[in-house]
């Protein structure tokens, strides 16, 4: 064991490289004396020596080899590539204090093959980036030089992407990475956005993953290009409850924040991060929800010399100021919270930003009965928080049905689903009533919603001070990237569902259990109806289509396949179980309820407790319930009066779907509903007569003054470029490695207390007293929860739920270890759903329409192929396939055998031949499935031959009758 007093510290980079050599070459760590010798020559020379050793086989002792290299007169004085990865080191580019790059000798001579720039790196730099990145991702943690030769790289340079992937997989990928990490895409040139990932281990080694497809681009990607942005994940050790501390993370990863990351011959530097919250966690519960983005600042790759790059030669402050001048903000927390607006997935509105007239108009302030402006916690209260106006000529350029930055018309599955049966939009196009957007204009960043205003002159947008999140610095002259980015529009409401929180609040407000149990009964009947009712089956298959082999069940239903067909029944049972799981969590469909985007009344006609609601057929009248997720307070559900406002028509014309709140009174009505505003918040609106009959409202939530827990934050404008970079990276590490769980803990404890509250009686003095105590604790939890929602922007200390507010035992429906059997409405719903059982489908029969004569040659051929397929799939699932084929690759292989191409419409075979072979696939697979009584084996048919069989089956149907049955047309 090394004596701690003799331990010699080395730099992080030297330590990581030394550790890598010991691990890869199975060598003992060098003695303190050898470490002292390494430290004496300095970091640069130590890295050179260790790099040369890493590229050579250590035959005897690592310690002896190091001493020999140190004392050898032939010392290399230039930096070497990273030995762990075989890429250029983070000192590839010498960076001045202001962040501008100074050319290195190898940058001036890109053809050089010095130790700092190996022949393999030079060859890599000749590839287009996605090919280079794919190669790097396929070599795992192996060095580039050991994985492939420069000549091999150059020989593949001109191949199309599909062929390039295949060659690289055979040459390197199958040796270094799992088949599950193979990128088998047929649509490499489809125009879909790419995203690139880099994973950094605690040893400092890099592992790349990608390119990966994603649905929509962020403003950052669109401005710089997909390949100039990488998502970087920093590893965390989790041994039981021991996690990586912020201090440990800084020691491990500060070098990357300071110097950047090299991807081949490109240098990427830390730029921005964002906590994606619950949505990001849903995608991958095992990873952090905090996503960190690095951007390319420089490149020595020859392929990059042709085109100028926006960030070349710019300091990081100048680079960030292209998007917004966030250094004008008062704190680092606000800096990053606002700067992360560029990470929203958005649809870019095609407008001429140069001719745009962006006006600033005043917010409407809250006033008391004396007409004085109302302040709360020292802040002016406003009615118009987050909402402005847009002229009609600009609004008509925005498509309807944008959600999370995606225009639903662009989703392939929507187009495939509706086929020729889709609802065609009216030729008289009505623009969206509200547009949720991010507006970047001359250094400013604005966030909120824009209400169509037909009274405005053309090319006009009016924003309010509450929408301006970043102001321009008049003394900072940097050309900005101006853009209007659409996040969403006020869309036609979809079917509306309750949640556990909403059910609990409604139950507390007096809605009887029988009402919810009635909804549950209908929902369970609908779930069972998927096996007998085509409309119900279609709805469920569309809703859960992403988990159903690319909407296979839905395509079968639309083609007229009967619901009792064996494989369709099997898939519908899987989807029905998913539906049942939602019911257990209180996801009950409720009629006459809608989610609508909110905004402020521009007419001034609405009175307090009045709203205006525009639905499909215009404005509605009468009492409504209004709520906003994730409201927890008893008063977050309001009873309001929906009122007809004639004057509103002159603003919005015939545009639809929104809820308008009044601009009168001492407090914003939206703020009373779980602290809502109008920057895109969606409000639950119900005109369900039963709910209105029973529900009794409570007093609204009032924000308590914040505790004295605000930390003095450094002001970005007072920091140098390097200091700002370092402070922002520290802020990222705190968010990543010291996450706050206060919201989640508070919500769980609230659920437990709420369940107790719902089961305590008022007619028992002891229970009534306990009810008051429980309610008091719940109010404290609610304050903590709402405060934690905004804590990242306020620079406060880490929010924690005190022990006396934590639940010790939970209702059984929360599925925690320490639980009791709840008799509340949520417990009753959970127990009722658990009674549901589905029988497995065993009876496998064939469809008469597909029971046709097939040439024996086709049957024999596909019996052989199907046997081969089963062997390959078994090997792939067991991980014993030496070729490294993934499941997707195997299915693609047999599609290409069937069609002679990647898709049926590209086939060179005759349609008769393709159809006969498709029928052979059908009969061979179904016969085998029947012989072993396993309906899941029928899936091969629909994944491989589905398009041909469904097209044939649909041609035999009465399409009009089928559409009436499914859609009610």
Distance between CA atoms of 63 and 32, rounded to whole angstroms? 10
Q: What is the mean pLDDT of residues 521-543?
A: 88
Q: Classify 675 as helix, strand or coil.
A: coil
Average pLDDT, the chain: 86
Distance between CA atoms of 309 and 905, rounded to whole angstroms? 40
Distance between CA atoms of 437 and 273, rounded to whole angstroms? 20
Q: What is the mean pLDDT of residues 847-873?
A: 91
Q: Given a cut of 90, is residue 431 above it in pLDDT?
A: yes
Q: In the block, which residue shows the tokens 């229970």?
A: 767
Instruction: Output the pLDDT for position 245.
Output: 87
pLDDT category of residue 776 using cuts at 50, 70 and 90: very high
Torsion of CA 465, 470, 473, 474, to 10 degrees: -30
pLDDT category of residue 116 using cuts at 50, 70 and 90: low
Residues near 409 by beta carbon (within 8 Å), at least 6 away in sequence: 399, 401, 415
For the segment 156-167, what is each residue's pLDDT rounded down to a tens digit?
999 999 899 999
Determine which helix (DSSP H) or strand (DSSP E) holds 270, and give its type and residue range: strand 266-275
Long-range contacts of residues 103-106, Cβ cutoff 8 Å, at least 24 apart: 104/300, 105/78, 106/300
Q: In the block, which residue shows the tokens 């240098």?
A: 267
DSSP category for residue 806: S
Q: What is the mean pLDDT of residues 795-808?
A: 82
Q: Is 908 exposed, middle or buried (0-12, 13-18, 19+ CB in 10 A)?
A: exposed
Q: Given a cut of 50, is residue 353 above it in pLDDT?
A: yes
Q: Given a cut of 50, is residue 927 above it in pLDDT?
A: yes
Instruction: Output the pLDDT for position 882.
Output: 47
Nearest CA-CA partner of 16 in 255, 262, 260, 203: 203
Range with the lowest mean pLDDT among 62-66, 149-153, 797-801?
A: 797-801
Distance between CA atoms of 761 and 108, rounded to whole angstroms? 81
Range with the lowest mean pLDDT among 862-871, 872-881, 910-919?
A: 872-881
Residues near 627 by beta carbon (within 8 Å), at least 6 away in sequence: 502, 505, 636, 637, 638, 673, 674, 683, 684
pLDDT category of residue 544 using cuts at 50, 70 and 90: confident
Residues near 673 by beta carbon (within 8 Å), at least 6 away in sequence: 626, 627, 628, 631, 636, 638, 683, 700
CA distances (Å), 618 to each of 140, 429, 449, 590, 607, in order? 58, 16, 21, 21, 20
Residues near 304 by beta carbon (within 8 Å), at least 6 away in sequence: 125, 265, 266
For the segment 557-600, what is each residue's pLDDT rounded down to a tens digit?
999 999 999 999 999 988 888 889 999 999 999 999 999 999 99
DSSP category for residue 29: P
Helices vs strands, H then E, count in the chain:
36, 31
595 in Cβ contact with 683 (< 8 Å): yes
Q: In the block, which residue shows the tokens 């437990």?
A: 752
Q: Given a cut of 70, is residue 532 above it in pLDDT?
A: yes
Q: Which two tokens stand for residue 449?
A: 């919603």
Instruction: Output the pLDDT for position 505.
Output: 97
Instruction: Output the pLDDT for position 284.
Output: 64
Nearest CA-CA partner of 576 in 831, 836, 379, 386: 836
Buried b (16+ CB within 10 A) or exposed e, 229-253: bbbbbbbeeeeeeeebeeeebbebb
The residues that bridge with 640 in the sheet, in sequence order, are: 624
Distance between CA atoms of 658 and 638, rounded to whole angstroms? 17
Q: Phi first, then psi: what are they for 810, rounded to 5°?
A: -125, 155
Q: Given a cut of 50, is residue 804 above it in pLDDT?
A: yes
347 in Cβ contact with 408 (< 8 Å): no
Distance between CA atoms of 536 and 967, rounded to whole angstroms? 10
Distance between CA atoms of 200 and 232, rounded to whole angstroms? 7
Instruction: Give the distance, in angstroms, between the CA of residue 303 and the centroid of all CA atoms in the same chain.
Output: 31
Q: In the block, which residue shows the tokens 């990001």?
A: 280
DSSP category for residue 5: G
Q: Classify 894 as helix, strand or coil.
A: helix
pLDDT category of residue 112 using cuts at 50, 70 and 90: very low
DSSP 173-226: IHHHS-GGG----S-TTS---EEEEEEE-TTS-EEEEEEEE-S--BHHHHHH-G
Instruction: Output the pLDDT for position 424.
Output: 35
Instruction: Output the pLDDT for position 843.
Output: 84
Instruction: Output the pLDDT for position 475.
Output: 86
Residues near 787 by beta carbon (within 8 Å), at least 6 away in sequence: 706, 796, 799
Instruction: Output the pLDDT for position 8.
Output: 77
Distance between CA atoms of 909 and 894, rounded to whole angstroms? 15
For the segment 657-679, what is each residue's pLDDT rounded down to a tens digit?
999 999 999 999 999 999 999 99
Q: Given a cut of 90, is residue 429 above it in pLDDT?
A: no
Distance between CA atoms of 358 and 360, rounded to whole angstroms? 7
Q: Given a cut of 60, is residue 287 above it in pLDDT?
A: yes
Q: What is the mean pLDDT of residues 111-119?
A: 54
Q: In the block, which residue shows the tokens 């916690």?
A: 377
Instruction: Give the distance, in angstroms, between the CA of residue 808 and the centroid of all CA atoms in the same chain.
Output: 33
Q: Given a cut of 80, is residue 702 above it in pLDDT?
A: yes
Long-range contacts of residues 72-78, Cβ cutoff 8 Å, at least 24 apart: 75/45, 75/48, 75/49, 76/48, 76/49, 76/52, 76/115, 77/44, 77/45, 77/48, 78/48, 78/105, 78/114, 78/115, 78/116
Torsion of CA 933, 936, 941, 946, to 10 degrees: 140
Distance between CA atoms of 349 and 486, rounded to whole angstroms? 7
pLDDT category of residue 427 using cuts at 50, 70 and 90: very low
Instruction: Output the pLDDT for position 759.
Output: 93
Distance between CA atoms of 256 and 16, rounded to whole angstroms? 13
DSSP 715-763: -GGGS-HHHHHHHHHHHHHHHHHS---HHHHHHHHHHHHHHHHHH--SS
Q: Given a cut of 60, is residue 149 above it in pLDDT?
A: yes
DSSP 812-840: GGG--SSEE---SHHHHHHHHHHT---PP
DSSP 860-873: HHHHHHHHHHHHHH
Q: In the block, which residue shows the tokens 């075979």?
A: 909
Q: Given a cut of 80, is residue 218 above it in pLDDT?
A: yes
Distance between CA atoms of 853 and 871, rounded to whole angstroms? 28
pLDDT category of residue 904 using cuts at 50, 70 and 90: confident
118 in Cβ contact with 144 (< 8 Å): yes
874 in Cβ contact with 932 (< 8 Å): no
Determine which helix (DSSP H) or strand (DSSP E) holds 488, and give its type and residue range: strand 483-489
Instruction: Output the pLDDT for position 65.
Output: 84
Q: Given a cut of 50, is residue 820 above it in pLDDT?
A: yes
Q: Phi first, then psi: what are they for 317, rounded to 5°?
A: -65, -45
For the segment 616-627, what is each residue's pLDDT rounded down to a tens digit?
999 999 999 999
Q: Given a cut of 80, is residue 219 above it in pLDDT?
A: yes
Instruction: Output the pLDDT for position 440.
Output: 97
135 in Cβ contact with 850 (< 8 Å): no
pLDDT category of residue 969 using cuts at 50, 70 and 90: low
Distance between CA atoms of 572 and 852, rounded to whole angstroms? 26
Q: Given a cut of 80, is residue 928 above it in pLDDT?
A: yes
Nearest CA-CA partner of 97 in 269, 323, 281, 316: 316
317 in Cβ contact with 99 (< 8 Å): yes
Q: Which two tokens stand for residue 848?
A: 């008469």
Range with the lowest mean pLDDT among 58-72, 519-533, 550-564, 906-920?
A: 58-72
């Amino acid at each position: 064991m090394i004596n701690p007093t003799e331990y010699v510290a080395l730099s992080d980079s030297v330590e990581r490289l030394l550790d890598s050599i010991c691990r890869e070459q199975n060598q003992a760590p060098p003695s303190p004396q050898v470490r002292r010798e390494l430290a004496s020559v300095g970091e640069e020379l130590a890295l050179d020596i260790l790099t040369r050793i890493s590229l050579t086989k250590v035959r005897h002792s690592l310690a002896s080899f190091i001493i020999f290299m140190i004392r050898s007169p032939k010392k290399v004085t230039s930096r070497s590539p990273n030995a762990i990865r075989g890429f250029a080191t983070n000192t590839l580019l010498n960076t001045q204090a202001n962040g501008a790059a100074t050319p290195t000798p190898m940058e001036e001579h890109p053809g050089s093959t010095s130790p700092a720039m190996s022949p393999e790196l030079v060859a890599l730099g000749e590839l287009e980036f996605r090919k280079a990145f794919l190669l790097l991702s396929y070599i795992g943690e192996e060095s580039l030089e050991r994985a492939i030769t420069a000549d091999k790289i150059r020989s593949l340079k001109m191949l199309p992407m599909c062929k390039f992937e295949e060659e690289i997989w055979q040459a390197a990928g199958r040796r270094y990475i799992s088949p599950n990490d193979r990128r088998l895409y047929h649509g490499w040139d489809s125009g879909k956005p790419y995203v690139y990932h880099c994973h950094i281990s605690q040893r400092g080694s890099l592992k790349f993953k990608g390119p990966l497809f994603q649905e929509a681009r962020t403003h950052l990607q669109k401005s710089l290009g997909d390949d100039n942005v990488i998502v970087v994940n920093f590893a965390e050790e989790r041994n039981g409850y021991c996690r990586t501390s912020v201090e440990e993370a800084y020691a491990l990863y500060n070098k990357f924040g300071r110097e950047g990351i090299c991807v081949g011959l490109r240098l990427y530097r830390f730029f921005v991060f964002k906590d994606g919250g619950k949505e990001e966690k849903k995608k991958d519960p095992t990873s952090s929800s905090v996503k960190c983005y690095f951007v390319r600042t420089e490149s020595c790759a020859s392929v990059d010399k042709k085109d100028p790059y926006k960030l070349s030669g710019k300091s990081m402050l100048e680079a960030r100021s292209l998007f917004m001048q966030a250094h004008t903000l008062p704190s680092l927390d606000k800096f990053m919270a606002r700067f992360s607006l560029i990470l929203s997935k958005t649809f870019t509105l095609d407008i001429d930003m140069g001719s745009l007239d962006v006006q600033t108009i005043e917010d409407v302030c809250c006033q008391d009965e004396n007409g004085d402006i109302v302040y709360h916690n020292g802040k002016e209260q406003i009615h118009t928080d987050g909402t402005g106006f847009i002229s009609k000529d600009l609004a008509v350029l925005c498509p309807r049905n944008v959600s999370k930055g995606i225009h639903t018309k662009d989703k392939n599955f929507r187009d495939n689903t509706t086929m020729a049966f889709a609802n065609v939009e009216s030729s008289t196009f009505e623009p969206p009533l509200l547009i949720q957007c991010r507006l970047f204009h001359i250094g400013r960043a604005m966030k909120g919603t824009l209400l169509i205003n037909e009274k405005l002159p053309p090319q006009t947008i009016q924003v309010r001070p509450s929408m301006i999140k970043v102001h321009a610095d008049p003394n900072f002259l940097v050309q900005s990237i101006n853009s209007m980015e659409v996040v969403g529009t006020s869309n036609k409401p979809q079917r509306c569902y309750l949640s556990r929180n909403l059910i609990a609040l409604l139950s507390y407000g007096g809605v009887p259990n029988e009402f919810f149990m009635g909804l549950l009964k209908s929902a369970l009947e609908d779930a069972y109806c998927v096996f007998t009712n085509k409309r119900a089956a279609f709805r469920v298959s569309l809703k859960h289509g992403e988990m159903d082999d690319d909407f296979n069940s839905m395509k079968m239903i639309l083609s007229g396949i009967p619901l009792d067909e064996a494989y369709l029944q099997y898939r519908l049972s899987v989807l029905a179980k998913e539906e049942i799981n939602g019911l257990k969590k209180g996801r009950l469909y409720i009629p006459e309820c809608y989610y609508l985007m909110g905004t402020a009344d521009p007419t001034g006609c609405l009175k307090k407790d009045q709203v205006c609601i525009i639905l499909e057929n215009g404005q509605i009248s009468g009492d409504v319930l209004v709520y906003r997720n994730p409201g927890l307070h008893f008063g977050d559900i309001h009873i309001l009066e929906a009122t007809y406002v004639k004057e509103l028509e002159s603003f919005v014309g015939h545009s639809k779907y929104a809820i308008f709140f009044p601009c009168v009174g001492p407090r914003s009505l939206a703020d009373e509903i779980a602290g809502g505003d109008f920057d895109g918040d969606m409000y639950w609106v119900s005109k369900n007569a039963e709910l209105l009959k029973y529900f009794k409202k409570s007093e609204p939530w009032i924000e308590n003054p914040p505790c004295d827990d605000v930390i003095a934050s450094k002001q970005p404008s007072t920091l140098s470029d390097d200091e700002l970079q370092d402070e922002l990276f520290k802020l990222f590490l705190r968010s990543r490695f010291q996450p706050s769980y206060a919201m989640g803990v508070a919500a769980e404890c609230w659920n437990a207390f709420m369940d107790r509250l719902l089961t305590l009686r008022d007619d028992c003095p002891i229970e009534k007293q306990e009810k008051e105590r429980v309610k008091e604790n719940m109010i404290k939890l609610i304050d903590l929860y709402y405060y934690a929602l905004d804590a990242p922007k306020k620079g406060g200390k880490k929010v924690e739920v005190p022990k006396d507010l934590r639940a010790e035992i939970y209702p059984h429906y929360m599925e925690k270890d320490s639980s009791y059997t709840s008799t509340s409405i949520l417990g009753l719903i959970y127990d009722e759903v658990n009674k549901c059982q589905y029988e497995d489908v065993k009876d496998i029969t064939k469809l008469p329409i597909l029971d046709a004569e097939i040439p024996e040659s086709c049957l024999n051929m596909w019996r052989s192929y199907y046997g081969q397929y089963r062997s390959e799939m078994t090997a792939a699932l067991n991980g014993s396939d030496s070729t490294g084929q993934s499941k997707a690759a195997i299915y693609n292989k047999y599609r290409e055998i069937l069609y002679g191409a990647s898709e049926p419409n590209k086939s060179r075979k005759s349609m008769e031949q393709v159809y006969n072979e498709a029928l052979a696939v059908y009969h061979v697979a179904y016969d085998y499935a029947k012989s072993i009584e396993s309906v899941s084996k029928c899936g091969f048919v629909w994944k491989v031959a589905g398009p041909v069989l469904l097209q044939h089956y649909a041609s035999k149907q009465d399409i009009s009758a089928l559409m009436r049955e499914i859609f009610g047309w």
